[in-house]
Structure 1
Amino acid sequence: MLTLTTENKKTLFYILIAFAFSVAMRLIWVYQFGGYAPFHFNGQFMINTNDGYIWAEGARDLLSGTSTNPNAQEYFDKFHQFNDLSPVTSAASQLTAFFVKILPFSFESIIFYMPVFLSSLVVIPIILIAKALKNLEMGLIAALVASVAWSYYNRTMAGYYDTDMLNIVLPMFLLWSIVWAVQTNKDIYLLFTALDILVYRWWYPQSYSLEFSFFGLILAYTLIFDRKNSYNYKLLAIMMFAMMNTDGFIRLGFVLAAFYAFKQEKYDKYIYYILGLSIIGFFATGGFDPIWAQLKGYVFRNSVSSTGKGLGLHFFTVMQTVREAGHIPFETFANRISGNTITFFISLLGYIYLLYKQRIMILSLPLVGLGFLAYVGGLRFTIYAVPVLAFGIAFLITEISEKFIKQIAVKDAQENRIKFLLMTVLTLGVLYPNYKHIEMYKVPTVFNANEVKVLDALGKKAKRDDYVISWWDYGYPIRYYADVKTLADGGKHNGAVNFPVSYMLTHTQKEAANMARLDVEYTEKKFKFQKEYKKEIEDKNLTVFSNIEYMTKDYGFTNANDFLSKLSLDVKLPKKTRDIYFYLPYRMINIYPTVTLFSNIDLMNGVKGKQPFFFASRNFKDLGNTIQLAQNIFLDKKTLQLTFGNKTVLIRRFVKTYYDKSMQLHKKVQPVNLSSNISVIFMSNYNTFLLVDEKTYNSLYIQLMVLQNYDKKLFEPVMLTPSVKVYKLKI
């Protein structure tokens, strides 16, 4: 019978306290918006991260395919087929489907609450690491702080259904197994370490870099501090086998074989050969390739990419527009890791002191290094430094408490009470700014209920093979709610993919319609080609060019710009194989300038064009004779002149849009000066002013979404609501 020691009971008790605290903090958002209808659909909370919808789509399709229906395969084919990009093989989707199968809760509830409970598991390895360091109180404090620190909370809150819910939990378990392996030299931790790497890679395929960093640091630790310890070389070898860039079951076979060999003393003399074999296997399977690819993507970034082959087309890179991959101010960097700048520096000092007192914690440097990469590589990385810096502040709190007690003459019972009180007060001081952040962090759901109702209705009209065109930000939710295909989404949005979508949204209706039919049909054609010639493409490393390049060549051009110039005319289009819809949400006004970047470029040389003029104002002030649209922008209500600082110009036209009681859109167009290039649109029901140049005014997005001026030969309205306009392409 298993009996728990006092220390184990204390460890378990601390884990339960920290876990309950972490869960409770994540329920604050739920309490705040429990009765807010726009965040609910069909009586259920919606999630608040775009990427979550891709995993939800995969889980939905998995559940359809594993139905107890006798025609399960037929049912599965109905919901998942080639080209729909549903991630049915992804870990997040598979784990979700498993939970839906075994738990008595709805699908929507499970994806909404999964981050709450899975992310809170991070407290377990934190407290177990502290146990190895003989300081459980440090572990409890660190677990409390890490579980609610800004960046960790932001990416694991209720509704933030994404891989981040385990992306720190698993590397912290890896750190725990490594620490215990190095400290105890027990064989079981060799297996734990390797299995953790396998699970981590299964859950998050981009884990290569962190795993490799751990390997490198263990190697350095061994060579500097423990060179003669053969156990460390066993640890390195089994890690290398687990890290190879090949199928997970193959890696598992190598891991189990290595573990069996390491359990046999007769194989000890072959340890270095096994280590060498593991390193060869790692590099031979291309283990370092994805690490280098990640470095190039996040650190060595270019704003424009070139194919370098074929026509050598140039495209705008998406990494320049992703906020989480952008540079951040130091204050933001510090706040996201520790709650505020002062706490950050104290935590860093405490961490350095911890490294001095506990040399084994050097093994945590990869997490700190990756977290600090956020300062140059993007805010998403701060999350990795959170638990380790939490150890720093927690260690200082326990050390200060110990030293304070030694300075005062108290008895044992009183000593414990004073020590507990001091640690509690200091911990609450550290937790407070993080709690205030949670209280104020009222992030909305991805879409509101009205937008989702449109998608739900669209899903009943459109076929599964039909395409819905919108910006990539909305791709995953569109696929989930409408069960259709999209050209771009959160995983498929490189410059070559975004160019045609941007082109459609920001050019005339004729150009957009032609490009839509071309891009959809060429996308399907490319899918078919890649399926039929998959082996040849892989074996001969053949280049699969962008749709734009294939279009350009097929229409007899060698210059892509020349080809694009013909799209304003009648061109012979590919045979129509499916319907195409445009999903145009009002919310896209916020990112319209970003959308223009991807098609406002010379494809042949990469030179960026002059940015179209677009300005949206919602916080305007009526000053009587003028309207202040921004600090230095004014509109004279009588003369309809715009003043930009010291410059005054007449506008081309003034347009006012408004909805009547039956929610029909009306517009009043007042021509002013047709030689001007700037128009003003007042969307009265939205309380929004738009200032746009003539190119933007004539763009598909402004004409169809804002003004509902659609070319009846090219488009027909499907659903027209204040939140979203949906049109069907007729050609």
Structure 2
Amino acid sequence: MRLIWVYQFADYAPFHYNGQFMINTNDGYIWAEGARDLLSGTDTNPDAKEYFDKFHQFNDLSPVTSAASQLTAFFAKILPFSFETIIFYLPVVLGSLVVVPIILIAKDLKNLEMGFIAALFASIAWSYYNRTMAGYYDTDMLNIVLPVFLLWSIIWAIDTKKDIFLLITAIDILIYRWWYPQSYSLEFSFFGLILAYTLIFDRKSGYSYKLLAIMMLAMMNIDGFIRLGIVLAVFYTFKQEKYDKYLFYILGAAVIGFLFSGGLEPIWLQLKGYVFRNNVSSETKGLGLHFFTVMQTVREAGKIPFETFANRISGSETVFVLSLFGYIYLLYKKPIMLFSLPLAGLGFLAYVGGLRFTIYAVPVLAFGIAFIITEIAQKFIEQIGVQGAQANRIRFLLMTILTLGILYPNYKHIEAYKVPTVFTADEVKVLDELGKKANRNDYVVSWWDYGYPIRFYADVKTLVDGGKHSGSVNFPVSFMLTQPQVEAAKMARLDVEYTEKTYTFQKEHKKEIQDKNLTIFSNIEQMTKDYGFTNTNEFLKSLNSDIKLPKKTRDVYFYLPFRMVNIYPTVTLFSNLNLMNGAQKKQPFFFVSRNFRDDGKRIQLGANIFLDKRNLMLTLGNKTVPIRRFVRTYYDKSMHLHKDVQLVNFTSDINVIYMSNYNTFLIVDENTYNSTYIQLMVLENYDKSLFEPVILSPSAKVYKLKI
């Protein structure tokens, strides 16, 4: 199933670069960057260390210590495939491993047919496929595999009470934490269920207390190798009966170690980020600035309708309802499966916390629908009264038909799920060329969606990316892209230099920051104070005057892709507010039309939006207004941009831009028309004292800051 996408786009050139498929998730490029840098540092070339020092720069945020990067680098080192092939196909291989613990759990429940059906279903269910398909190179490729392995080890530990499962459970937690540091909440939920089980049903069993103790030690918020050493030492102690009298002392020490290492803090932070969230966040110290929170713009963290919720877990609403009923019935018939509730609970959190969580409910509800199928088949055989080989044939035939029925909606989704790669080949060519022109310590200004791929392909630094995109760091970048060129250029120089200065301060005063809990203010607040203002709004106005800028330490480039047209309104949200009180300003007018229709006299740009070709009057619903300008852009055979600008009515605030080669109309107000993004990317009207063009491609344009 995961190869369907590969077959569909095998000959589609825009999804290939250097003869290789590109990945289709933005976040994958951060792990690819870390793996690339690790490989450059472990090359057999005698100058590899020097090369690594040049390739991996201070403050470049390359995740060379992350598990995904390290595992990828390991595979790239030992396997005879290209780096691009490995990162593209790794999700296919690792994601499919979820079938192994599912089968092992079913073995404990003595129902292998159920396990086989559940494995088939879970491995291709809607949301699980989406996040483990070919090219979806991200931590999700093991984020479900590892907790399902943890569920298996817990079930077998409780059922068999064998010492080996104490160690397996602890090691699974260690690996899970290494792979995905945000695994705290799920691990703690498993721990809580085991604690409840022990206190209610198994208070006299020393084994359950051993399991609790070794889990808590594995969950401590300290270095993984230290935890591994502690786990091995405690496991050895538990193997010696003479030390059983110290069991509760060890358990108490484990609880104390967990709490004092800050074990609960990450759980609260995740709940705060995904459940208890606000539109605007404020800094509690200093000037008390207010910023727009990024979680409100991340689709996977938003609330979802029931239909989407059900489809992503089971492929259809009908199958979801049957799966839920089967899961509840399975819990009744096999109470040991109550330990799967943390996975189900986290999956159901998607209903309020965002669609990204649905993936956790997939394997447990797969057990539910599989159990229903096996029960139906068994009851049917009992009703018709056949026995022996004939009964088995009929039972297997019925299970096969029902299984194909529940798999079909998920197959249809996979067949239709034709997601694009993150960038097209033309866009990557621009970044590849930029990497040859820019220094590795230079910065590239662009929106956070493109931060990781920019760093991977151009090997430069970025101000924002998929992990560094809080409201306070997004504000300056949003300001640069949506304000006029003078203000944007000055903010770019300021933000880059302040970013580097903050990194240096944090490195040189690390101990002092920790000991005295010093507050590191956002760049924009520090700028406000340094320039003698107490009101950040007033400081921002001063950028239009002749202020003294910091000394230039590196070059700054603006990477402006055409695709950003689609998210421009979202980009504006982060800087279009009063920082002193958090009040949102009037949203700029911005409308994109690609499915327009020309009837000769009028162009229909959207529902109830028409442009009269004779007098260039714009009809918006029941209102007809004049436009300020009509601009047509087009490329000649040499791919040089030309523009025809027709001034219509200076009293109007609305402009219409027809980008003929893109088959796109833009309707924008005057402020948006004068924004740096529109002027530089759409119109190539750049202030020669502030910017110089570096790469002018239809897919993306790059300008170098001159101040």
Query: Could you say which TM-score interval applies, normalised by the shorter chain?
Result: over 0.9
The separation in 2 between residues aligned to 1:81 and 1:721, in whole angstroms, is 29
Indicate whether 1:624 and 2:606 are aligned: no
TM-aligned CA deviation for residue 629 of structure 1? 1.1
TM-aligned CA deviation for residue 79 of structure 1? 0.6
The separation in 2 between residues aligned to 1:253 and 1:405, in whole angstroms, is 54
Tell me which residue corresponds to 1:293: 269
Answer whether contact 2:557 2:705 (CA < 8 A) is retained: yes
TM-aligned CA deviation for residue 225 of structure 1? 2.4
Q: Secondary structure at the match of 1:354?
A: helix
TM-aligned CA deviation for residue 541 of structure 1? 1.2
**Cα deviations by residue, 1:612-633 (Å, 9 ceiling, x for unpaired):** 1101011111122111111121
Tell me which residue corresponds to 1:87: 63
Alignment of 1:238-317 (within 5 A): 238-317=214-293
TM-aligned CA deviation for residue 163 of structure 1? 0.2
Alignment of 1:66-465 (within 5 A): 66-465=42-441
Q: Secondary structure at the match of 1:627?
A: strand
Structure 1 residues 568-577 or 141-150, which shifts more? Answer: 568-577
Answer whether contact 2:656 2:667 (CA < 8 A) is retained: yes
Answer whether contact 2:57 2:441 (CA < 8 A) is retained: no
Tell me which residue corresponds to 1:650: 626
Tell me which residue corresponds to 1:543: 519
**Cα deviations by residue, 1:642-679 (Å, 9 ceiling, x for unpaired):** 11111111111111111111111111111111111111
The separation in 1 between residues aligned to 2:305 and 2:359, in whole angstroms, is 16
Tell me which residue corresponds to 2:451: 475
TM-aligned CA deviation for residue 81 of structure 1? 2.0
Q: Secondary structure at the match of 2:646?
A: strand
**Cα deviations by residue, 1:7-56 (Å, 9 ceiling, x for unpaired):** xxxxxxxxxxxxxxxxxx10111011111100000000000000000000
Q: Partner amino acid for 1:121?
A: L
The separation in 2 between residues aligned to 1:596 and 1:212, in whole angstroms, is 39
**Cα deviations by residue, 1:64-90 (Å, 9 ceiling, x for unpaired):** 001111122111101112111100000
**Cα deviations by residue, 1:661-719 (Å, 9 ceiling, x for unpaired):** 11111111111111111111011111111010110000000000000100111111111
The separation in 1 between residues aligned to 2:95 and 2:137, in whole angstroms, is 10
Indicate whether 1:580 and 2:549 are aligned: no
Tell me which residue corresponds to 1:594: 570
Q: Secondary structure at the match of 2:462?
A: coil
Answer whether contact 1:651 1:678 (CA < 8 A) is retained: yes
TM-aligned CA deviation for residue 196 of structure 1? 0.3
Structure 1 residues 428-437 or 261-270, which shifts more? Answer: 261-270
Q: Secondary structure at the match of 1:128?
A: helix
Tell me which residue corresponds to 2:658: 682
Answer whether contact 2:57 2:440 (CA < 8 A) is retained: no
The separation in 2 between residues aligned to 1:154 and 1:248, in whole angstroms, is 30
The separation in 1 between residues aligned to 2:24 and 2:298, in whole angstroms, is 17
Structure 1 residues 629-638 or 337-346, which shifts more? Answer: 629-638
Q: Partner amino acid for 1:704?
A: L
Q: Secondary structure at the match of 1:615?
A: strand
The separation in 1 between residues aligned to 2:299 and 2:384, in whole angstroms, is 51
Tell me which residue corresponds to 2:682: 706
Q: Secondary structure at the match of 1:568?
A: coil
Tell me which residue corresponds to 1:692: 668
TM-aligned CA deviation for residue 146 of structure 1? 0.3
Where structure 2 has 5 or more consecutive residues not aligned to the other structure, the ranges are none
Alignment length (residue pairs): 707
Answer whether contact 1:552 1:558 (CA < 8 A) is retained: yes
Percent identity between the two aligned chains: 80
Tell me which residue corresponds to 1:668: 644
TM-aligned CA deviation for residue 634 of structure 1? 1.1
Indicate whether 1:608 and 2:584 are aligned: yes
The separation in 2 between residues aligned to 1:259 and 1:119, in whole angstroms, is 30
Indicate whether 1:533 and 2:478 are aligned: no
Answer whether contact 1:510 1:569 (CA < 8 A) is retained: no
TM-score, normalisation: structure 1: 0.96
Root-mean-square deviation over aligned CA pairs: 0.7
The separation in 1 between residues aligned to 2:570 and 2:177, in whole angstroms, is 33
**Cα deviations by residue, 1:403-436 (Å, 9 ceiling, x for unpaired):** 1111113241111111110000000000000000
Q: Which residue, 510, 518, 523 being the options, matches 2:494?
A: 518
TM-aligned CA deviation for residue 220 of structure 1? 1.1
Answer whether contact 1:632 1:645 (CA < 8 A) is retained: yes
Q: Secondary structure at the match of 1:728?
A: strand
The separation in 2 between residues aligned to 1:668 and 1:498, in whole angstroms, is 34
